[in-house]
Amino acid sequence: MKISHAVAALIVTAGIPAKAQTTMPWKAMEANGQCNYLKIFPDTGLTTVGFQPNAALDGKVFVVITNRNWSVAAGDQVIGPLIIQTAAVSAEGVPLAGPHLIGAAMPADMLARFVEADPRIVEFRLGSKLLTRLDFTGFKAGWTAFAACMDKRPATDITQKPLAKEHDMQDAPIAAKSLGN
């Protein structure tokens, strides 16, 4: 998967905050036939987090985080898993490396769980290594637009309902940590 192209397309389409201190809200957008939910953070790395339920991944959610300060490159061997966690919920997947980015396919229900948790502080880890800590305020508030995008997609593109809440939480093996949310 050319994740770097996908991410670049997302960012270009989404636009960026004009000023370093400007915070853009969570944004729902459709690109290349996929619905994406992303935010660009106003730090020096221009950290960008994107979520994309992907039919090609059996409905799993492809999570990608980019930071231009990171030296990670395509093909790098990264020791995972990539973990995204708040005080209440977490999800993880096998990491893929790209230029200045890490991505992973995560369980299909992870987005629904994060929305329900309405997270504020979210940490990304690669194994035990803390990659970054981000303020997800507004994640839930922007969700309606993303849900609308998913609703209007042709059913033939969706192999399974990617946002259906799964009762089996076996895919979330990381214990909730105290992050002070």
- Contact set with other proteins (CB under 8 A): 2, 4-5, 7-9, 11-13, 15-16, 18-20, 31-32, 43-46, 48, 66, 68-72, 74, 76, 78, 98-101, 126, 129-133
Q: What DSSP letter does each residue of 71-136 carry, written as one string?
A: ---TT----S-EEEE-SS-EEEE-EEEETTEEEEEE-TTHHHHHHHH--SEEEEEETTEEEEEEE-
Query: Minimum Å distance from CB 117 to other proteins?
Result: 22
Residue 148's contacts (CB-CB under 8 Å, 6 or more residues apart) are 28
Query: Minimum Å distance from CB 139 to other proteins?
Result: 20
- Measured from the CB atom, the residue of 67 and 90 that comes closer to other proteins is 67
Q: How far apart are CA 142 and CA 101, in angstroms?
A: 24
- Measured from the CB atom, the residue of 101 and 111 that comes closer to other proteins is 101
Query: Minimum Å distance from CB 166 to other proteins?
Result: 30
Query: Minimum Å distance from CB 109 to other proteins?
Result: 27
- Measured from the CB atom, the residue of 80 and 140 that comes closer to other proteins is 80
Cis amide bond preceding 107, omega within 30: no
Residue 18's contacts (CB-CB under 8 Å, 6 or more residues apart) are none
- Measured from the CB atom, the residue of 108 and 126 that comes closer to other proteins is 126
